Chains A and B, each alone.
Chain A
Amino acid sequence: MALSLRQRQRDAVVRMLNLNHPVISGGTADEEVYKVLVYDNFCRDLLAPLIRVNDLRKHGITLYLGIDKERQNVPDVPAIYFVQPVQSNIQRIIVDASRGMYEALHLNFSSSLPRPLLEELATGTLKSDSLQRVAKVYDQYLEFVTLENGMFSLAQPLSYVQLNDPAAQDQDVEAVVESIANGLFSVLATLGVVPVIRCARGGPAEMVAGVLDSRIRDHLVSRNNLFTEAGHMGGLGTTFQRPVLCLFDRNFELSVAVQHVWSYRPLVHDILNMRLNRVNVQTDGKRIPYELDDSDSFWVANANAVFPQVAQEVEVRLSRYKQDIEEISKKTGANAEDFDDNELMGSTTALKKATGSLPELIERKKIIDKHTTVASALLGEIKTRSLDSFCSIEDEMLSKGSVDKSFIAHLKGKGTKEDKLRLAVVYLLAVETAPPAELEAVEAALRESEVDPSAFLYVKRIKSLNVSLSSAQAASKSNLGVWGGQFYEQALSSITAGVKNLLSGGRQAALTRVVEALMEGKPSPETDSYLVFDPRAPKGSTGAASVSKGPFKEAIVFMIGGGNYLEYGSLQEFAQRQQPTKNIIYGTTEILSGNNFIEQLAVLGRKMGVGGSTPASSS
């Protein structure tokens, strides 16, 4: 049985909304209780892509309010709190309880509430004489955001900067590692599995793996039932096969995070700034929000397709829709002359059928409209920034490891500053040893177009410190079709004709290859040095047991320091190609577009003292 994280999380949330009573399948547990939901910002982000207002209503939630917004008394109504276990929230809860805002407080914390805070809560409510208002205290272990069935984010911003900051103190790094391990623990508790942990030697990945391993160990000893409980709740959830948790550090492969992309979902994320499965598309000066998630069949089908193919697909759907409409109008309209009794009966049923199928058709129309708008917005951006050429150059560089001389011209041509910077960084990562003259030229070109080169310089410095950084890229060479460049001048509708089908999965990400090797469990030069943590195994015998070597059917891949949809798509494609299909969940500390990541690199560059406001001094 597949690990569906999103479903598990939704089930957990629904159970919480029903005051933690088990939910009878399909129905609501206690329909007669009307409740108020109070959440903080983190939990709002968690809930927003997961559950809609009408679902909330179905479970008896009448009002949903932010904890730090101004709230008014709603006496005689129980309230469900879903917040992070932090002190400010505890203080707010105590205030609410003492003021008697709601009849009863059902407290749910997104992860484990530390003992001191629980004591603070107890003292606070005792002091204000409002103890009886606290009905329940629950740890929900839900401190992560699931965006797709196989993708989650811990929503911990700037973790790459924090982990790679040269000036960072040990305790800062430890705190970050701790919170990442905490989030991962939540994920595992929700899934109800104890995985085998694999990670590369050294770096944040090993630190996280160590902390997580000891946490799971402690937990399995003391309160054994968190994992077994989840297994029971999932029914068939307990598989004999344990998944493998692969931890990676962003430094493992930087180029994926900065390169330009060409398939649909990464494009939408990168260009239109998709956040929590929602994009705002600017049309006629108005910003219209669109939802893009698992419920959208088109999105699911075409997420990894390259952009021209998506445009084509929109056309196909549109024509099919038109055809269906025509058919219906023919059926209902044509036979009206025959006033035979039976025929009349027949035509009314046809009419009925037509009205029955209308909602479905409307739904389809909506999806088509949505994707047409999104695709044309993308097309506009692609045209103005000539992203296609950026994309093709970067891909060529990464796959061949050599550079076309013309790319410096691109640094001076179209595109935003970030685009140029990203191209330059990809160039650095792609070529193993760049000739100094060329580096000079690149820097000069960057400066010419007034780009802050600190990110570029940071990567340059890192690279000189650690030559092996780019070795991962050098290994991934395969031929790639040349990008066709001319079709953007045509309108969206005519793209369908005569487009060269471009490859997207031609070059496999280094991450995917390593994950494949780890899942196979066969010895390979790339993964032999990887550490093994098995929380189930007795202490001391790490790595010895054969069970922790695989092969694995299920994997959780976690990228520390920010991931993106390109990697997710690559892993997904790999999982589906396999026979029988494997199941991979991809997670990351935060989801970053290329521009976001380059900003983080720039921050690091400035901290390191390279670049900054006076780029001339650093070169």
Chain B
Amino acid sequence: MSIAMGPSTSGRDRTSEFHAIVDRLKKTQGATLPYANGSSNGAVANGNGETARLLPQPSGNLQSEFSKRASQIGLSIHQTSQKLSKLAKLAKRTSMFDDPAVEIQELTSVVKQDITALNAAISDLQQICEMRNDGANQTKQSSEHSTTVVDTLKSRLMNTTKEFKDVLTLRTENLKVHDNRRQLFTASPNKPANPYARQGPLASAAAAPPSASSSTTAALPPWGNGATRSNELFSSSRRRHTADGPDSTQSQGRLQQQQLAPVQDSYMQNRAEALQNVESTIVELSTIFTQLATMVAQQGEVAIRIDENMDESLTNVEGAQNQLLKYLDSISSNRWLILKIFMVLITFLLIFVVFVA
């Protein structure tokens, strides 16, 4: 009995007590079982959080294959969502100067590949599942189990995809904002056809000497202001900022912008490409998304309680009873019908026999 209170047993965990009893029983019965080490085995497996794969069954090969795959998919969905959160962190950065465009692009493509791969894997899994369900030795409940697993994975993937889409949308928006800002400060006053009508006053303010612009648009990192402080600020930033460096010595904002123009152009093109990339990814994603959406059965079980089906079964039973009653009615009315037909037939027969024969 005292073994039961073994080390690290909380008041709730009675497993060791159970095994102690089993050991005692074994000793008294002298039964030598091959599973003598079952308990320690289980304990080790539990320590790793891998209880599910405790003692794999040789018989359920197909099932094992299924669960192995399912857990793999689950794991990679998890990994993907971790990547995604990293990506989201990057995309949220709104600073204009150290824009991690390359990293974002890489990550985006990785995640995109992941999602496509996962999508394929899940459809594979579904096929396995269907194949198994067609098999003769599958019970209804185990096929239900596998269907639910597939559904859960699908909805998880769908959520991940949705997240991905959100991140990309965020990214596009950020890029657009950046472009807006850039246009704001690079647009020269000799370009009156500014599509952003409201930004007129701001644009003129930007054209004013740097000190003035920094005071009027304190919230935004002003171009001119940045230029004067470039030495400290941009020491770590990229090529286009270093290109900025020499120009920044100019005190005249207008002149500076004109000289910047060619550099700006190529930069803009880069940006436009990035934007297009992101947008095309979103489009692709949305196709995947819709595909998934049609695949995932409407999971209307969001707020179902576990005792819900009790009521359902009750109504089903009642319905069955009603049907039976109806059947009884129809049978009894049928009986009358048969009787009537017989009577008619017999009358005709009699008429036939009496008059014709």
Contacts and interface: CB of A to CB of B under 8 A. Distances in A.
Interface in B19-42: 21-22, 25-26, 29, 31, 33, 35, 38, 41-42
B64 interface: yes
Interface stretch (B145-153, B211-219, B246-254, B264-272): B145-153
A218 interface: no
Interface in A2-46: 19-21, 29-36, 39, 44-45
Contact of B46 (A49, A135, A225, A276): A135
B67 A77 contact: yes
A139 B11 contact: yes
Contacts of A19: 46, 51
A132 B38 contact: yes
Interface size bracket, B side: 35 or more
Interface string B283-307: 0000000000000000101111111
Nearest to A43: B306
Interface in A271-289: 276, 278, 280, 287, 289
Interface in B240-262: none
The secondary structure that dominates the B interface is: helix
A52 B141 contact: no
A137 B17 CA distance: 9
A78 B51 contact: yes
Contact of A135 (B42, B59, B140, B301): B42
A32 B48 CA distance: 13
A337 interface: no
A57 interface: yes
Contact of A341 (B12, B195, B305): B195
Contacts of B144: 62-63
A74 B196 contact: no
Given A62-B149, A276-B307, A136 B38 contact: no
A52 B305 contact: yes
Interface in B294-333: 299, 301-308, 311
Contacts of B224: none
Interface residues of A, number: 72
B134 interface: no
Nearest to A34: B149
Interface stretch (B70-78, B104-112, B122-130): B70-78
Interface in A196-219: 219
A126 B67 CA distance: 28
Interface in A59-75: 62-65, 71-75
Contacts of B71: 32-34
Contacts of A103: 52, 54-55, 57
A617 interface: no
Contacts of B63: 75-76
Nearest to A108: B12
Given A34-B149, A341-B195, A131 B38 contact: yes
Given A31-B78, A75-B57, A278-B305, A138 B12 contact: yes
A53 B70 contact: no
A342 interface: yes
A445 interface: no
B197 interface: yes
Given A103-B57, A342-B196, A54 B301 contact: yes
Contacts of B14: 113, 118, 137-139
Contact of A139 (B12, B21, B49, B302): B12
Contacts of A104: 42, 51-52, 54-55
Contact of A126 (B13, B17, B26, B145): B26
A325 interface: no
B67 A34 contact: yes
B13 A44 contact: no
Given A75-B59, A75-B63, A135-B51, 5 more contacts: A53-B302, A54-B299, A122-B21, A132-B38, A225-B10
22 contacts: A31-B74, A34-B71, A54-B302, A54-B304, A62-B152, A74-B142, A75-B59, A75-B63, A76-B60, A76-B66, A103-B52, A104-B51, A104-B55, A118-B18, A122-B21, A122-B25, A129-B33, A131-B22, A135-B51, A229-B10, A291-B303, A342-B197
